Amino acid sequence: MVDKVEWTIGSQVPDFSLPASNGEEIALSDFRGRKVVLFFYPKNMTPTCTEEACSFRDNFSALEQAGAVVIGISPDPPKSHTRFIDKHSLPYLLLSDEEHKVSDMFGVWQMKKMFGREYMGIVRSTFLIDENGKLAAQWRKVKVKGHVEAVLAAVLS
């Protein structure tokens, strides 16, 4: 179990590993030396999550040319991630956080409300981690429209 972290720009992001859509266990430290765009989203195949995932797909080559790795994280199991990737031709890995350990560590596993019902879930958020594993930027309670462009601008700066 990883403790919650104080998320300030420049702070070291703790390493973690999760099962990935490619069948491997992927650790954040695997990408040391490259910028990492880590986006947390609630659920595969839902309209807003699909819009966000496809926006990262559509800007993937620009992010990659800027030296960034794109990784999505949701509580969905790896098989669901594989179907999501296949259906929408996503060119990046999706990690499965079924026990919410990493989502909780990042502070994005929170109480949510919809139609008067309360439940725990992921609050859509994105984190930019620099080549040394430090937090370079963060976006919480993300609105999808224009978000990936803001992330790309931060990666380029």
What backbone torsions phi and psi does residue 152 show, to the nearest 5 degrees? Answer: -60, -45
Q: Where does the chain show beta strands of DSSP type E?
A: 17-19, 25-27, 35-40, 68-74, 93-96, 109-114, 117-122, 125-129, 135-139
- 3-state SS, residue 108: coil
Per-residue CA distances from 120 to 10, 69, 111 (Å): 29, 28, 4
What backbone torsions phi and psi does residue 60 show, to the nearest 5 degrees? Answer: -60, -45
Q: Is 49 a catalytic residue?
A: yes
- Which of 112, 111, 109, 93 shows the shortest CA–CA distance to 101? 109
Candidates 28, 37, 49, 95; catalytic one: 49
Pair 105, 152: CB distance under 8 Å: no
Catalytic residues: 49
